[in-house]
Amino acid sequence: MKKTIGMIALLLSLSLSLAACKPATDATDTSAATQASVASSEGSGEEMDQMFADAVKGKDVYLVEDIAADDSRWEKTVANCGNYKLSNREAQIHYYMQYLTLVNQGYAAMLGLDSAKPMHEQESYVSGVSWEQFFLGSGVDEFHQYAAMATMAEEAGFSLPQQDEERIQDILKNMPEDAKNYGFDSVDAFIQASFGSGVRLEDYEHFIRQYFLAMSYENSIFESVEPSDDDLKAYFDAHPEEFTGLDAETKNVNVRHILITVSTTDEMSDEEKTAVKEEARKKAESLLAEYQKNPTEDHFAELAGQNSEDPGSKDNGGLYEEVYPGQMVQTFNDWCFDAARKSGDTGIVETDYGYHVMYYVKQTDTLQWKNLAKDNYAKSVLNDKIKEAMEKFPLTADYQEMIIGSLPAQPEPETTEPSEAPAESQSPEISEAPKE
């Protein structure tokens, strides 16, 4: 399919993923990308297979070609949870969002997903489950979490914060202009280009309202957690696997460095590579000698700004603040956390990046394990709350009645720039949508 599909799909998905309302936690994340991440690190055996009920595998193909937007099958309620119903129209949004998330986070190629081939003809990493079944099952699981948490929020008297209501209104307000700029004659056609032939603006609005309510409520739970020092220490002791490289005593540090990279190519001979490396080492030694003529932190920062090849710190005088044990590569880390280290110490460290002229600023008061424990403790509380909601409001789903529509052909977009996505986006562009 044409690249415009990816642009449109990305625009719509970013309006959710960058809404600044999702908690800083994976919690009980049911997205396909998260499940893929787990699979890539833990395998795809029986435990992964259990995520998908026999129901989703009971139907080989969910795709219905050339189904009209007003076909009555779209109105069919195919799942229920708490105060919410899932129609075939909204199920499409969850389905395609699962695909977009997987591709956008870089797992598609790693898992062998080919968007040029029909999803129902490709087996996913879960044995016996096609990618079509996988995305649909993941999407229905996602609906369960959103609907359960939104229902719990309503029962608790939690209302959508005004700033989130304003974000929703901004999303909806910009759609007519974006649709026009991409060459569509209606907002519905614009949405259907990303989420299938049965989806309308009202379905998308219902989806994002449920999403915002669920995520805002999760945020409120996450932010309300205030563990005591005893809670944090108990969590730290009970979950050592989450604190690899950290101990209860080592504090963070501030350091400056000047990076001199070693730029070699495979075409170079060993002698040429050695010469390049030696040149970089001599430059690092020369800079350290230059610093020694005026051994102050300000002078070091000036030299870093003029000479460092690290774009992440060059403009800040080579400064890295709150560096914690295990954050940097080994030799850099070992230098920073040498027990004898004191303010004003300098040296040269070699890493795979090149040579680093080092300057030790100070030890801070921050215990990284405590920061991490606070975050992970709050995640565990939220995770328990999500599980409680999903158990209190169980899902009923009828996969036999579910259908998926294909994506329509794309018009050529106008040259006018669409309204900008939020500036904080760092997501890569999706090149194409899946072929059903």
Q: How many domains are contained in the chain?
A: 2
Are residues 326 and 387 located together in one domain of the fold?
no
Residue-level pLDDT at 182? 86
Q: Contact, 274 vs 223, CB < 8 A?
A: no
Residue-level pLDDT at 47? 45
Asked if residue 92 belongs to a domain, the reply is yes
Residue-level pLDDT at 311? 94
Question: What is the rounded CA–CA span in Å between residue 384 and residue 178?
Answer: 40
- Walk along the chain (436 residues) in steps of 10 and give the mean pLDDT of each run: 43 45 50 43 43 74 88 95 96 91 84 90 89 93 96 96 93 90 89 87 94 96 95 95 91 98 92 95 98 98 97 96 95 96 97 96 96 95 96 95 82 49 32 43
Asked if residue 240 belongs to a domain, the reply is no
Residue-level pLDDT at 39? 39
Question: What is the rounded CA–CA span in Å between residue 59 and residue 389?
Answer: 29
Are residues 184 and 101 located together in one domain of the fold?
yes
Q: Sign of the CA dihedral 338, 339, 344, 346?
A: negative
Are residues 173 and 314 located together in one domain of the fold?
no
Are residues 360 and 396 located together in one domain of the fold?
no
Are residues 271 and 387 located together in one domain of the fold?
no
Are residues 223 and 283 located together in one domain of the fold?
no
Residue-level pLDDT at 409? 63
Asked if residue 399 belongs to a domain, the reply is yes
Are residues 220 and 319 located together in one domain of the fold?
no
Are residues 179 and 304 located together in one domain of the fold?
no
- Which of 315, 338, 366 is the last residue before a domain boundary? 366
Q: Contact, 160 vs 147, CB < 8 A?
A: no
Are residues 9 and 144 located together in one domain of the fold?
yes
Residue-level pLDDT at 255? 98
Q: Can you tell me which residue has the tokens 């008061």?
A: 365
Are residues 213 and 292 located together in one domain of the fold?
no
Q: How many CB atoms lie within 10 A of CB 344?
A: 13
Are residues 190 and 42 located together in one domain of the fold?
yes
Are residues 192 and 259 located together in one domain of the fold?
no
Of 69, 92, 88, 71, the C-alpha closest to 79 is: 88
Which pair of structure tokens corresponds to residue 37? 């991440």
Structural domain span for residue 90: 3-227+377-405
Beta bridge partners of 259: 356
